Structure 1
Amino acid sequence: MTTDMELTPNAIKTLFDTRGETSGVEHPVLQVINVKAVQSGTGTRYRVILSDGAHFMQAMLSSNTNPLAENNTLERWSVIRLMGSVCNEVNGRRILIILNVEVLGKPESGKIGNPVSIENGGSPSSSTTTTNNNEQRSQPTPMSISSSNNSGGPVAQSSGRTNFQLESSLFPITGLNPYQNRWTIKARVTSKSEVKHWHNSKGEGKLFNVHLLDKSGEIKATAFKDQVDRLYHILEEDKVYYISKARVTMARKQFSTLDSEYELVLENQTEIEVCPDEVAIPKVNYNFVRIADVESCEPNTTIDMIAVVRDDNGVQEIVTKTTGRPVKKRELVVVDDSEKQIRLTIWDKLAEEFDSSGAPVVAFRGLRVGDFGGRSLSLGSSGSAKVNPDIPETTKLKHWYASQSTDASYSSFAPQSTGSIGHQANTRISLNKVKKDGLGSSEKPDYFSTRATVVFMRSENPAYPGCPECRKKMVANENGWACEKCNKQFPEPTWRYILTASIEDATAQLYVQLFDETAAIIVGQSANEVMRLKDSDVDAFTKAMSEGLFKTYNFKVRAKSDTFNDTTRIKYNIMEATPIDYVQEAKEMVIALDNLTL
């Protein structure tokens, strides 16, 4: 027992008038004057009456706070600190849903004050003697909160239920779990992806996903195949919807930037009903990290950031190792008022359409932190970017950046290369020095020359089927080969090398990438010839791929950091491969020895 506890004055009136908002009375201290377990279609729910000593109102525990009542941590006369709540309209009454609560203890005196109902303004004496009756009259049954009919979960208006009935079944997003099958959430779509297509050994299909937000939290929802056609045009960013009968599954963290333990799958029986805009549901739920603080973020974590785009390196196309398909990327340099800059990579359609003119302020959600070159950022497929969003942080950053001089400098996370070796392609250096000096880790590519021996070449998928006209990857079909870029059909492709190899010298080893012209020098045959052997004579193909091994070349190499699938690393591309001219090499050695004796 606790001898003395003070409740927050006027807290119930504030919660009632603001529909559960606690901004006007942050984390109010209240008393539970009654707790009752009731059965509903989703299991046992607990309804409670909360008091501030002067007024009381009806409330209900969310499913994630049910254990407090089940283990008697929260009971009659308990004093609590309300950490999160949302208010629903049910049968014309406002019911507070308790999302998060801290139990402080119980006073020795039992009930504190003589509260009256905030709804009917009854006298203190009547509320003292008829608390349970008031509760019974004003609190709807939990069945009306979770499901108002006997046929299952809430139904959309088109199926006969009204907004009022949908409101009576509302669940907070944080209360969802795979063991519930009768619920409705009212949530805002904060982001919506493009339709994505996949092709693999198991088949093909398409999907899109949305992020759904209410006052309690945020969750990802995904629609597959036929549901894409049914739902893609219905769900729009910034609009609010009633959603029910979706499947709740464990979140696949590798494909999500949200903290939610669960995610939704939108299925054939899923019902979605648009509802009027709800001011109580936030537009977006950012948790911005300043650039200077990124250094303290662990690699591969996900953050939000708002920053000014200072530099744009334009769109580049790379070919992925895993699929051999070309993808577009754009590297930006962003700054904020922490006087720091960082490199940020965006991908695919966003990379192609992004307009950096005028140094826009961009709010990014779902940035993956990389540790390459100190720190870098990548916007994954489940992230989003809003240009010049209508939030206070945008105005603040615009004013700050406008006050900076055009030649203002900002510190970077990327380590600097020593000297100018990295930019002198004709300066021959060892592979160990390449690594030691961190060539390629700065924002611009470094070029160097080295002498090394080819010790390994990856023979799996050494080339891709390229279009004879635009060089993009082609796809086989019943009529031959089709180019996805120029939409032309050809009887066969032009195979082009995209070869991974390992080179070594006496000091270190590097994995490098060779494209068509340079790879042909190493292998000694064109990609077309090698791929024909691969299809017709495996032994001859293996021999051809091994012919280039253990030969030494003078290489000119481009070192550049690259981010893909939220992982940043240095990529070394062979620009030139020249066989050793031993006569010339001997002359150069004589000159070097003469210089040593001077």
Structure 2
Amino acid sequence: MRTILSPQAKLGSSQGGFTPLSRLTDGDHGWVRVRVRVSRIWVASNPDTGTEYSLDCLLIDDEGVTMQARAPRGDTMKRLKHQLAEGKVYALSDFTVVPREHEYMACSNALMIYMNKQTVVDEIEDDTGSLIPLHSFEFVDFNDVPSRNGDKRFFTDVIGEIVSVEEMGETWKWKTWRNISFRNIRLCDLRGRKLNVALFGELGRRFDAEQVFKQGQNVPIVAVFAGMLVQWYSGKEFTIRSTSASKYYLDLDIPEVQEFRESLMDPHKPIDLLPCQVQNPVNLADLVKSWRTIKQLKSLNPHELQWGTTFLCTATLKGIDCTRGWFYWSCFHCKRSIGVVDGIFSSCIHGCPKDPPPFRRYKLNAVMEDATGTMDVMIFDDQARQLLGAAAEEFVGGVTGEKISAVLCSHQSRSFVIAAANGCFVVKHILNEDELQLIGSAQVAAGGDPLLLEEESSSVSYNSGPIKIKEEIMVVKEESEAGGGCESTQDGGLSRILQLQFTSEKGEDGD
């Protein structure tokens, strides 16, 4: 006699009619119920704009299996914000199981759950779910942290002893036109290796540094940081930084923390409370007063200026000096120069991982001009990409420094943020129209005149014979940057790789 299994039986329903997360398969599961605890919950958002993309949570079932669940932006997200809470156990049904996303995943499960308007959420208030773990982490060894730099596929979880806490600091972010606050924390693992942690915004402000410092004078404090990303910062090197998914836990009651604490061998050293070591805030009131002509800038000695001192200047780019080339081979992680001899790259002086391999970044020795004179400035990768519309790696054969110089010459005058660094002037940012309006408004509010006197103005209309750029070959490369607080690429995530033919035509109107 043939036995026909129900869909629930095929998926291996456990006692009580709940299916383990490990038995879920790709597809719609209107007839499946899972019993899970919400270990962590967060709103995936862009910190620059505040745009919310989805409600995400890390689920754990009776077997200790984890899976990420997501409710996309809309009515479902609004409803589940009120229905789901960290730490509670729920029965979920009428959801869809799909392959995990390519970015911003909190666990390594190959599948994830999508919750929609049909998804049913019932809280389980009895003790049937009491054995489900409250927390689950996928800890990364400190030695492996550098290899995750720039990798957004998975969030990073770490565990370590707090050895120092810094006071809140600020750094200016041109994209959002404001200072953002942060707090640096130093961790140490059982092998004595150190790792910097950066908590941005409200997460850093909520971290009770005074209490941690006080308690850490007598006993070690073991911290867990979850939902982080890895980034290289000048002055701090490889750092795990907070995201909209980040959480921190101090002396958490889990086996991993207990094991870590029991393995501490050296006598306890009190935690240090330090001032912020590296920060670069911008005072907007000072910024709007920093307009300079090229003549005025050339009268300054960049060697004598404090590192990072910024000025505003409106000028036209005349081109670049190509005698030393237009790019350099860069370490993927720290962006420092990598030597190459006979096609063989040297190791990074910072000891960064060799993968991904070095690649080309812009380093343009440019010439600026206004009505008062000319001066040399350095333009590095990010700003050069903004001017040229493509990364250095994306220019295919036949593109020379002379052709890039011609593209720069084709631009009309622009307003630049110029900083003193390493004994020269460097373009740090290129102001757009909205930013110029903000500066003008701030200047008026401060009682200044946004229109400089003619003899002080650095604005000039420069025409060197317009350059027409003809696209011979266009290769479109799709770059997907999804919503976990990332920056989307220009032209809706499409990057153009151009092979350019340049022809100089004299005339009154330029392209």
Normalising by structure 1, what TM-score? 0.43
Instruction: Give the structure, 1 or 2, with the largest relative contact order (CA under 8 Å, sep 6 or more).
Output: 2
